[in-house]
Amino acid sequence: MKKYIYLVLIMLFGFAFGQNTINITYVEPYEYKEVSGSLLAKASLNIEDANQYKGLSFENGKTIEIEQENGKAWLWLPVFGTPESVTFVGNSRKNSTKQLFTPLVTSDWGYFKEGTFHIISSSHQDIAWMDTPQYCRHERIHDIIAPALDMMDTDKAFHFGMEQTLNLKEFIEEFPERKAEVMLRSDEGRFTWGATYNQPYEGMQTDEQLIREMYFGRRWLKKNFEGNDVITAFNTDVPGRTLQFPQILAKSGVENLFVSRLKEGFYNWYSPDGSSIPTYSPGNYGWAVMFYKLFEQDAIEAMHKLQTRVKMWGDYYKEHNLPPHFAIVISNDASGPANYGAIVSEWNDIIKKTGVKMPKLRHSTVTALMNEIKKPGVVFETISGERPNIWSYIHGPGHAKAITASRKAGRLLPSAEIFASIDAILKGSFKDYPEEALSEAFEESIYPDHGWGGKNGHITDSIFRAKLEFAASEADRLIEKSLTSITSNIRTKKNNAVVVYNDLSWERTATAKVTIEDNSNYYVVNHEGVVMPSQISNARGTRTLEFVASNIPPLGYSTFYLKKGKKYFDVNKSVTPNALSNDFYIMRLGDGGLTYLFDNKLGKEVIKTTRFAGGDIITMKYDGNGAGEFTQMTEPKMDGFNKASLHTANWKIVNDGNVFTMFENKVKFEHANIVQYVKVYHQIKKIDVFVDILDWDGTHNREFRFALPLDMEDSTIKYEVPLAIAEVGKSEMKQAPRGWAWGGTYDQKPVEIHPREVMNFIASEKDGFQVTLATDVALADWIDATRESVEYTVLQGILMATHKSCHGEGNWYHQTGDHHFEFSITSNEANDALSYQFGNGANHPLQVSEQKIKNNSGVLPASKSFFKVSQPMVRVSTIKKAEDEDALVLRLVEIDGKNSQPTISLPKPASKVIKTNLIEEETELLNLNGENIKIEIGNNAIETYKIILKKTN
């Protein structure tokens, strides 16, 4: 017996030794037939002698014939089954050979056996990146949307999606006659639209701009396509997410968010107030089309490839208790609708005919997928907080002037709404409320999406910039109009009244400016006759009087009077051309800027100048693309490094008085002239630093930074993001996003990403001491980016960076010419409210409206707050006319991260207060009325109220 086994082993091994696997080649596209309920596919054997085998026998004894034709050995193999040992039966017995056979599609579908595969076809398309806005608009309408709708006519199973409402707006402008068809397809759930207006850089838009994405998105669609709704938002492309965006979506009735460049999976993405949005990511939106190519051939090919693809997902689905619905996202930039209808029918026919147990295949949408996925008991992954945007170099630094206009429009359009609302309240009617002008300006201010540059990008960029500049100038125009009207109601006892308005919802002391039309001397008194510090400066032939306007009431005004003559005002200061001291600071100026700064109030040194001066200007090489298929931000390099502090300074005093002292220093860099201005205020704890970059020649791959080196190591960095204050190391999502770019996986921890998108300020605090840098640029840093980087904190603003679009035929962002940037510095005991109010104040200059002839008949007092919130860190985001009725809408945002119960004082008693969602859909009637209403607002919450004012005569 033993001998026998020995012999068999020798035979087996001796037989197998040196022998190759017989490879099987299927005919492709697959040629298959159904034989008594089982599916067979035609294949040939890769063997030299086609006559070597006559058949193939399976473990159950079943044999398949091998036929010879054209010198090859052919056979029909079962498509479905389990891997098993088979025998190629030779013509002579000793030629038979055994090997493992794995069918094309095994019966092992694991978790998805009873599941469904969703083909989600949509088109990611930037407004213009592929070409000009006009070209892309035409392509969207005629080559994507119209054919997709046509396809729905012929294939009742076909689904398609466009990612933003703007696409629908454009389509219906071109084809108004197809409205009913669009509505029908939307009702059927077959054609879906994204819930946002477009896909912005979320962290670049100001508070209300970001919220208006929902007004011109979901709200617009619901209003214009009655009965239709959109509940899924898309921001597919940008590897970035701002802190409050999930809350904005959740509080605008949006139920799902589709993103990519994030690990494939399902998430609840949380904002700091605790609201969240269910989020799905396929990893990268273009992968299925570009790499997996699942549906290029036929159903068998699709089954074969998908089986391999979903293998890795079984455990994830099981772990998260997800229903077995798996998505294949068919999306690519500007891809037209591809109909895989034939494959879908073929797939499901095969299942029907063979009765094989496997997942079904259907056309679908993100909304339909999420409806299947979001069942009780599912456990989504959690993401909390900000994903710092690694594409941010493209907006602020790449398009400095355009983004400056964008930020100005974003800040001042709400102010325009607020003053227009106040004017309407005073008039007792919304008749003159500039609803259309405001709406148009807001829409233009958010029109530019994430697709700056690209092919013919110079055209796109100039269109984007023109829209932003229009919006910013509209804000100025509308504010001036409302203020003139409001001012006419103020009772003034003398001529030359200057009414100073505060567009922020806390009391402020700041300077205000008024143009002087003659060569006389003037001074300023407040409405009680007290002389205010004032100072005249002369720039380019315009005489400007700047004065200290103290205690201007929140969302209100105070009246001052201009008087001819001179009044002495005692101020404690000592000034030389390169040094200054006053009540607040001791400052020395030297090469590159401030060489010493001491806080007199707190007895602290503020800056550390071992490497940079305070307000230094740095230039380095930046050779990134701004936005593109990379996984980490491109760091600046030392090539061509220069800094203002390498140049001998020659500071001079250009203006000095009891309000401020201003110094100037000029430095010549290789490709531009730099002028630095340092303006120190004597009544307010504030130092402004202005930077002019003049005659910039547009040299490629250069960047400029502004630096404020601080005497602080390992400090806490806080910065303003839309509708909140973020903190480095605390506010970011904790996990590396993963997900893919062409350049690899996004495996950098978000905490490490810098610079960051900022709104109005970045601040650094250590041991209870805080320095705030207010900035008018969109990107800020706190880590020294030069070689031999210093350990201490260096607050920086990225002024601009010349670079090229990542599009192969894309443009350079030269930004040739003159540029002006503004920063303000203060220091105090650490306090978020102080830095928030300082930062916002710096970018919201007090507004001035003059009343040259006295007005005895005015009904308004000399000073007044129209709206007041008892807790100033509950900020008024806007006050506006309600969209579809003559009511007020008040939006508040809690900034301090604390639950709060503020009282809101109104200009007239409320008869009714209704809580709404962010797009003004009523949610709850509150039991509130009267002139003072007390509300409850959670930490970091954004809340909107509709207020019906009592009719008074």
User: Which residues bind to Zn ion, rule: CB under 5 A?
Assistant: 126, 237
Q: Are strands 534-539 and 542-552 parallel, antiparallel or unpaired?
A: antiparallel
Let me know if 87 is exposed, middle or buried by CB neighbors in 10 A (0-12, 13-18, 19+): middle
Minimum gap (Å) between residue 379 Cβ and Zn ion: 31
Minimum gap (Å) between residue 454 Cβ and Zn ion: 9
Let me know if 812 is exposed, middle or buried by CB neighbors in 10 A (0-12, 13-18, 19+): middle
Q: Which is nearer to Zn ion, 126 or 894 (CB)?
A: 126
Round to whole Å and give the CA distance between 542 and 519: 10
Minimum gap (Å) between residue 236 Cβ and Zn ion: 7
Minimum gap (Å) between residue 365 Cβ and Zn ion: 19
Closest residue to Zn ion using C-beta atoms: 237
Please tell me whether residue 462 adopts helix, strand or coil conformation.
helix
Q: Which is nearer to Zn ion, 804 or 807 (CB)?
A: 807
Name the DSSP class of 607: B
Element (H or E) spanning 549, and its range?
Answer: strand 542-552
Q: Which is nearer to Zn ion, 579 or 741 (CB)?
A: 741
Minimum gap (Å) between residue 739 Cβ and Zn ion: 15
Minimum gap (Å) between residue 404 Cβ and Zn ion: 23
Q: Which is nearer to Zn ion, 331 or 715 (CB)?
A: 331
Round to whole Å and give the CA distance between 656 and 663: 9
Per-position DSSP letters for 379-423, written without gaps between them: --EEEESBB--TTGGGTTTTTHHHHHHHHHHHHHHHHHHHHHHHH
Chain position carrying tokens 């390498």: 646
Round to whole Å and give the CA distance between 487 and 476: 16
Q: Are strands 105-106 and 80-81 parallel, antiparallel or unpaired?
A: parallel
Minimum gap (Å) between residue 487 Cβ and Zn ion: 46
| Residue 473: partners with Cβ closer than 8 Å, 6 or more residues away | none
Q: What is the CA radius of gyration of the chain?
A: 34
| Angle, vertex CA 730, rays to CA 725 and CA 732, nearest 5 | 85
- Rounded to 10°, the helix 457-487/435-446 angle is 150
Element (H or E) spanning 562, and its range?
Answer: strand 556-564
Q: Which is nearer to Zn ion, 217 or 709 (CB)?
A: 217
Q: Which is nearer to Zn ion, 258 or 326 (CB)?
A: 258
Round to whole Å and give the CA distance between 825 and 501: 23
- Residue 904, amino acid: I
Q: Which is nearer to Zn ion, 385 or 628 (CB)?
A: 628
Minimum gap (Å) between residue 450 Cβ and Zn ion: 6
Name the DSSP class of 646: G
Q: Which is nearer to Zn ion, 259 or 400 (CB)?
A: 259
Minimum gap (Å) between residue 126 Cβ and Zn ion: 4
Minimum gap (Å) between residue 451 Cβ and Zn ion: 5
- Give bridge partners of residue 267 from the DSSP assignment: 279, 381
Q: Which is nearer to Zn ion, 450 or 868 (CB)?
A: 450
Supply φ then ψ for residue 426, to 5 degrees: -65, -35
Minimum gap (Å) between residue 196 Cβ and Zn ion: 13
Round to whole Å and give the CA distance between 133 and 140: 10
SS (H, E, C) 810-870: ECECCCCEEEEEEEEEEEEECCHHHHHHHHHHHHCCCEEEEECCCCCCCCECCEEECCEEC
Round to whole Å and give the CA distance between 299 and 350: 9
For 234, left (φ over 0), alpha (ψ -120 to 50), or beta?
Answer: beta
Q: Which is nearer to Zn ion, 237 or 546 (CB)?
A: 237
Minimum gap (Å) between residue 280 Cβ and Zn ion: 18
In 163-238, the DSSP E strands lie at 191-193, 232-234
Minimum gap (Å) between residue 237 Cβ and Zn ion: 3
Minimum gap (Å) between residue 928 Cβ and Zn ion: 44
Minimum gap (Å) between residue 431 Cβ and Zn ion: 42
Q: Which is nearer to Zn ion, 204 or 904 (CB)?
A: 204
Minimum gap (Å) between residue 124 Cβ and Zn ion: 6
Q: Which is nearer to Zn ion, 198 or 793 (CB)?
A: 198
| Angle, vertex CA 651, rays to CA 646 and CA 654, nearest 5 | 145
Q: Which is nearer to Zn ion, 166 or 486 (CB)?
A: 166
Round to whole Å and give the CA distance between 704 and 815: 12
Q: Which is nearer to Zn ion, 143 or 476 (CB)?
A: 143
Residue in 202, 198, 247, 251 with CA at minimum distance from that of residue 220? 198
Q: Which is nearer to Zn ion, 261 or 608 (CB)?
A: 261
Minimum gap (Å) between residue 135 Cβ and Zn ion: 16
Distances (CA, A) of 117 to 232, 313, 348, 638, 903: 19, 13, 11, 51, 53
Q: Which is nearer to Zn ion, 8 or 290 (CB)?
A: 290
Q: Which is nearer to Zn ion, 550 or 811 (CB)?
A: 811
